[in-house]
Structure 1
């Protein structure tokens, strides 16, 4: 993408409505634009990052054995009346009447719809276990939407739903999803801590929320230092092996973790003092086991091995995909702008031509740009160097390739690493190799 032709509306001033870091930087870097309270348009740069986050989520769901579907945003009210939640959910649900006076709603979650879909096809125990997921827009009519995409009314969410024959199978599904979540967040360059949580309006009796550690997080968290050293993305746990899942779950739950509301000082004292950590965190995911709460209410049964009807056990598993973008920025920024993890950065490299029109600088920039198809932004604007540096730091390209007449005459690129500030002067091929290492 050439900046001279790009739609990338960066702002020098912080909009008055932006109260937290991620909201300020997402508006200033041209990732989003607010269209009404709690509702945002995703601009080209923000949409690229959102897609990269979605793809990592998708890959880890597939790896865990879940199958992707796509359910509609608008749901018939009858499904929610069947489950008993229509009147209980509250004013966060946006209720709609269509032109034929049919009651509809903009889905805040999909337990009812996925149960209705599954019961139309599942007839036998051979149809279990199954886990279905989708990545779709949701709407919850927050009374005070604020903090940008961290608490919007419309948001992109990955929600998955498991169906199992019995409690033991449901627990295996639950643990497989927990492993998928830990791998997902690790791949995004984030430290995630799973914490036992209340089930809320979804129901059930087993629940964990996933907290991303960030200096500007919304709540205080207490956790064991073991969470900082675990590389979940590389651990060879097999999601289909119950013994492996047991080992993983014992490892995770054996480490202390709690929000300030659920902090148990007696348990905290059992953690070695040099392993105690206290920080701030942001919730980005939640998983639930709720047994037959929805399958029973909605008449989902399958024939067991002996022909006896069985009501499947269920769980649901959510990740706030658009919320994750805000959390990533809260966890990675400085006074100059965003510091993206390599895996989710909209572009890997910003190419800064310090003197457009200089033959050598133009030629070297074009070579580098052609060698990084789809992963480089070429700042070819006739702007002063200071403005280009400021925009590059604000947008947060993991690499900045700075090319001026003197370096270009020698075939040299000045490469700056955004996260550390490290600068290297390298020949073009070595600069390319450095950048490509982080694209793997």
Structure 2
């Protein structure tokens, strides 16, 4: 490839609309251009990186025996209705009708489609099966941002496993876990596997792969000592044991009302009425699938909404409005409580179980109750872990303080179990001839998101610093004086020698100044730069500069191809052996 003929529209200044480093650099370095919010064209450099990322993932999936397929991006509504997700997906699903009026969807994921394919599996001898694809996904993301990290149109590697039983599913899940770990290492992403919520996917368990980054949107609870890691949506922590004597000292034979004029917050009550936050029962009101529900937590704890969704399996979830609350309970937020409430479901966090001597709202404005015994005075419909874990709390495994860090989700693997084979009534003939429902798993990697995440952890003030395995080119030959015939000819010889040696190389044969070429090569992020100039030509040498370190060495032109090939191999090997985050 020649820089002079390749479309690489670099920009001198940072685009005003870009915030995240990957967004800013992908625009500046000429990798992407926005068509509209959440939709980007990938330019030649980006396509080269994308294909290398896909190649690594494909190799690792083939290694575990997965088979590549390709499913349509447009789906009939009937399949989504059969699984129950036609309504569950809500506004994020693009829906349309064809000229005959048939309802269709643009695929945001492919569980329904792949399960319909599995209807052709007949016998236990056909299992296990692992199928994967690289396919465009479309989601009507309400707030697309950060370039390729949150878009409405993107490439997903999604794979699916079908096993005879849960033990087989566990093996397929573990095989994908290992394949993902190897793939992310090779790509250059320091991904941490963390426990996560299954969300709308359903099933029994899942693991996210998170790239630590301050630009990430996920909060990860992490213990460096024992390695425990979980998305905030699923994280747990240990709590200090409750002092029974303190509970007993505040207990009463029955709840006692007391006036609290102007009290609206946990802090108000704690400050003026001897009711520390950890001794309050906080009452939130949610509408779950159309029904008003009380959600109780300790006053010093925050609700993790995904835990509420997972615990109740509710499809439509929202906080109740003030008017709805007052109509049902006769009070406004700040004076709410569950004591004496028998007409509404009450879901309580486990930290409240067995607590006495607590304070909560009386469902009368400006009035609270003290001496509340949760088990005695509140009819709890369901107990669940609802609270968000916090930094500094003890790890439930090792007891050491937990850390909360930001991260980018780059992959997610799920144990779906029987959710979809039940819905589609998929069975195979078992070893005894009786019908058996296969157990499913699904496994996803966002390809362009992985590219962006890699930049988030591999860049500097000069531009992108691509790992050699996925860089658009492994090396660039820069002809320092293009108008000097001898230098230009030497550059062409070096370029051809590198091509013959199997190096993925581009020659910068533009007539621009050497400084411009150096800046562009650094901005684009090519791992190795070979400079051919008058001074080096006088001693029959070239300068070899490593982008990541800035180190420059002189290399005899006769040994250049061999030296660069070995340097690239060493750089890839170093990435492959990099320790996990």
TM-score (norm 2): 0.68
Matched with 2:112 is 112
Matched, 1:155 2:284: no
1:378 to 491, 503, 507: 507
Q: In the alignment, is the contact (CA less than 8 A) between 2:228 and 2:397 conserved in 1?
A: no
Which stretch of the first structure deviates more once superposed, 146-155 or 260-269?
A: 260-269
Match of 1:231 in 2: none
How many residues are matched?
410
Report if the CA contact (8 A) 1:221-1:258 is conserved.
Answer: yes
Q: In structure 2, do the counterparts of structure 1 residues 318 and 394 end up closer, same or farther at CA, with 3 Å as the change threshold?
A: same
Farther off after superposition, 400-409 or 308-317: 400-409
The match for 1:266 is 394
Q: Which residue among 407, 413, 416 is the counterpart of 2:536?
A: 407
CA change 1:216–1:428 in 2 (3 A) is: farther
What secondary structure, in the 3-state scheme, does the structure 2 residue paired with 1:294 have? helix
CA distance in 2, matches of 1:302, 1:220: 41
Q: Could you report, residue by residue, the CA deviation over 1:56-102 in whole angstroms, capped at 9, with x for unpaired residues? A: 00000110111100111111111111111111111000001111211
Once the 2 structures are TM-superposed, how far is the Cα of residue 268 of structure 1 from its aligned partner? Answer: 7.0
Q: Which residue of 1 aligns with 2:208?
A: 209
Partner of 1:193: 192
Aligned-partner SS, 1:290: strand
Give secondary structure in 2 for the equivalent of 1:344.
coil
Look up the match of 1:45: 45
Structure 1 residues 164 and 269: CA distance shift in structure 2, 3 A: closer
Aligned to 1:165: 164
In the alignment, the residues of structure 2 paired with residue 216 and residue 369 of structure 1 have an alpha-carbon distance, to the nearest angstrom, of: 38
1:134 aligns with 2:106: no
Residues 118-146 of structure 1: per-residue CA shift (max 9 Å, x gap): 21x20111111101110111000001111
Q: Does the aligned pair in 1 maintain the 2:546–2:552 contact within 8 Å?
A: yes
- Residue 244 of structure 1 corresponds to which residue in structure 2? none
Q: How far apart in 2 are the matches of 1:277 and 1:351? A: 45
Q: CA deviation at 1:160?
A: 0.5
d(CA) in 1 for partners of 2:90, 2:192: 30
Q: CA, structure 1 residues 100+321, in 2 after alignment: closer, same or farther (shift >3 Å)? A: same
> What stretches of structure 1 move > 6 A for 4+ residues in a row?
none
TM superposition shift of 1:147:
0.7
Contact 2:474 2:527 in 1 (8 A): yes
Q: Specify whether residues 27 and 409 from structure 1 end up closer, same or farther in structure 2 by C-alpha distance, changes over 3 A only.
A: same
Structure 1 SS opposite 2:154: strand
Supply the distance in 2 between the matched residues of 1:215 and 1:346 (Cα, whole angstroms): 25
Residue 133 of structure 2 aligns to a residue in which SS? strand
Secondary structure (helix, strand or coil) at the match of 2:90 reads coil
Structure 2: how far apart are the matches of 1:75 and 1:16? 38
Alignment check: 8 A CA contact 1:60 1:180 kept? yes
Shift in Å at residue 255 of structure 1? 2.8
Name which of structure 1's ranges 96-105 and 257-266 shifts more when overlaid on structure 2.
Answer: 257-266
Deviates more, 1:217-226 or 1:257-266: 217-226
SS of corresponding position for 1:372: helix
Matches within 5 A, 1:81-120: 81-119=81-119
1:369 is aligned to 495
Which 10-residue stretch deviates more, 96-105 or 58-67?
A: 96-105
Greater radius of gyration (CA): 2
Contact between 2:483 and 2:511, CA under 8 Å: does it hold in 1? no
> How far, CA to CA, are the matches of 2:520 and 2:535 in structure 1?
23
1:176 maps to: 175
- Deviation string 1:138-175 (CA, Å, 9 cap, x unpaired) is 00000111111100000101000110111111111111
Name the SS of the counterpart of 1:71 in structure 2: coil
Contact 2:394-2:400 at 8 Å conserved across structures: no
Q: Shift of the alpha carbon at 1:431?
A: 3.3
Distance in 2 (CA, whole Å) between partners of 1:392 and 1:25 is 13
Q: SS at 1:424's partner residue?
A: strand
| Deviation (angstroms), 1:332 | 0.3
Give 1:17 deviation, angstroms. 1.7
Report the equivalent of 1:5: 5
Matches within 5 A, 1:412-431: 412-431=541-560
Report the secondary structure of 1:267's partner residue: coil
For 1:229, the equivalent position in structure 2 comes to none
Partner residue of 1:237? none
8 Å CA contact 2:10, 2:30 repeated in 1: yes
Could you tell me which runs of 5 or more consecutive residues in structure 2 were left unpaired when the two chains were aligned: 238-392, 573-581
CA contact (8 A) 1:215 1:281 kept: yes
How far apart are 1:350 and its partner, in Å?
Answer: 1.4
Q: Shift of the alpha carbon at 1:259?
A: 4.2
